Amino acid sequence: MSLRVNLKPVFVSYERAFFRELPSEEEVRRRAEEILGELSSKLSGDARLLEPYFLTGPEGLEGLRGELSGDVDAVIVYRVGGMAHRLIAAVGMLGPPLIMVGPGVLNHDIVAYLRHRGREAYAPVGYDELNRLVRHLKVRKALRLSRVLVVTSSGLPSPSVISSAYDLEALKAKFGLDSVVVPTEELLRRFESVPPDREDVRKLVDELTSGAHRVEVSGDNLERCVRLYVALKELMREHSASAVTVSCAEPAFYEHRVTPCLAFSLLNDEGTPAACEADLSALLAIMLLSLLAERPAMMGNLWLHDARENVIRISHDVPPTRPRGFGEPRERYELHDFHERGYGATLYVHSWVGEAVTFARVHADLSRVLVGVGEVLASHEGISCRQTLDIRVEDARRLIKRVSEYGHHFALVLGDYAEELAELGDVLGLEVEVASESPRG
């Protein structure tokens, strides 16, 4: 992601107390330069440092307020002289989140004061924690800058996934996510208008076919699904959307002999979150996992496979071909039709086995997310949906009981991100329920 978090450094020297004398202006500047030098070298590329501000008394607060424009994502405050607890707290009351780095008790005193008053404040004890916090602020910023295209003619929640989030106004209020709803017929009209011999269609068909380990789909069905992918991207551009979900269980797709499964796989490969069946809960989980891990996520139905061995299954038709990263090479993949029905196109990807994965689903009320970590034991082609993963978890029965609270569609990404998701939840105001930690111990 090219998106970065803009941090405003603020250096505070104010208020004699105990044995502390106030340093000279020259000394304040010297200390600030040292801190900025270290900060610049330790911060990850997710952050951008803005021009620093020097605050030596309450009279400087209005000047600082004027510099806290919409471009400032957080202020990072350092005390370089005096006590200044109340003045630093006043900075935290101005608007943007306040960050104080280091193990000092001052930081925790001020952050506790601000949180008690409903303000957003953080006290990472070192640069590793700071960089994780910056990454989480970046995820939130990305969500706030996103717009979801919802393609449906049957309304929300989707008739095939009624446990999904459905309140688009609540989605905006909670995450800052804009949305636009377009009828399914509009997408299919656009699809029919894309000529089969268009250059970008032919090029992608050839690329997918030549790169496949195995091809079990007709050229006509593959071409039709590539045309739907092209049409969906055009529709997203037209509506300035950066994420999409489609109510693909609607009979119109069967009538047009086409499915968006391949389009969803390709979009997720590109870093464009895409989810099946107009499931906003799954789409949100895809967005959280892919933004956090900077890897494509897939989604699928989660169910209990073997309670004694603590094995669940996650199965669907939308695996990414680049599960290790957006810029990574495609894993070995196969091309098939949709559920052996003679239409549509789906992928089976040879990946994940022996790896840790994190799976998640956001509750319909948008207040909480269920998270689990497991180890992929096996991958099957054509059992239930096209891609089915057997995943060992910590306690399968306990997990399944919690699934009954959330719904069955879960997003999944390579790697163990349970701890980071819990921290991200603090930033987003989401309760994170970890139902399964790594079974590897």
- The model's pLDDT over 163-214, given as tens digits with 9 standing for 90+, comes to 999 999 999 999 999 999 999 999 999 999 999 999 999 999 999 999 999 9
**Phi, psi of 427, rounded to the nearest 5 degrees:** -70, -35
Rounded to 5 degrees, what are φ and ψ at 411? -85, 155
Kindly give the pairing relationship between strand 409-414 and strand 356-362.
antiparallel
Q: What percent of the chain has pLDDT over 70?
A: 98
* 175 in Cβ contact with 428 (< 8 Å): yes
Residue 334 has pLDDT above 70, yes or no: yes
Average pLDDT on 370-391 reads 94
Residues 6+ apart with CB under 8 A from 388: 300, 313, 314, 315, 379, 380, 381
Helix (H, G, I), strand (E, B) or coil at 82: strand
Residue 52 CA to residue 7 CA, distance in Å, equals: 9
- Report residue 440's pLDDT band, with 50, 70 and 90 as the boundaries: low
The residues pairing with 65 across neighbouring beta strands, listed in sequence order, are none
Chain position carrying tokens 């501000």: 53
CB 190 within 8 Å of CB 311: no
Nearest residue to 79 via CA among 95, 61, 91, 94: 91
Domain boundaries, the chain: 5-142, 146-436
In contact, 52 and 9? CB cutoff 8 Å? yes
Closest to 304 (Cα-Cα) out of 293, 316, 314: 314
**pTM for the whole structure:** 0.94
Asked if 212 and 262 count as a contact pair (C-beta separation under 8 A), the reply is no
The two most distant CA atoms of the chain are separated, in Å, by 82
From the number of C-beta atoms within 10 Å of its C-beta (0-12, 13-18, 19+), residue 424 rates as buried
d(CA 405, CA 163): 9
What are the residues whose beta carbons fall under 8 Å from the beta carbon of 227, sequence distance 6 or more?
191, 194, 196, 198, 201, 258
Specify the fold of 5-142.
Rossmann fold (3.40.50)
Residue ranges of the alpha helices (H) in 196-256?
A: 199-211, 219-238, 251-255
Residue 83 has pLDDT above 90, yes or no: no
Considering only 22-26, 351-355, 425-429, which range has the smallest mean pLDDT?
Answer: 22-26
Beta-carbon contacts of 103 under 8 Å, excluding residues fewer than 6 positions away, are: 125, 126
Residue 29: Cβ within 10 Å count = 15
157 Ramachandran zone, left/alpha/beta (phi>0; psi -120 to 50): beta
d(CA 304, CA 413): 19
pLDDT of residue 340: 80
Would you say residue 1 has pLDDT above 50?
no
**Predicted local confidence at residue 308, as pLDDT:** 96
For residues 440 and 28, give the distance between their C-alpha atoms in angstroms, rounded to a whole number: 50
Cβ atoms of 336 and 420 closer than 8 Å: no
The yes-or-no verdict on residue 415 having pLDDT over 90 is yes
Provide the pLDDT for residue 139.
98
> How does pLDDT run across 393-405, given as a tens digit for each residue?
999 999 999 999 9
Neighbouring C-beta atoms of residue 9, cutoff 10 Å: 19
Q: Which residues, other chains included, contact 2 with Cβ-Cβ below 8 Å and sequence gap of 6+?
A: none
Per the structure block, which two tokens stand in for 92? Answer: 């935290």
Domains 5-142 and 146-436 share a fold: no
Homologous superfamily of 146-436:
L-fucose Isomerase; Chain A, domain 2 (3.40.275.10)
Distance CA 297, CA 29 (A): 46
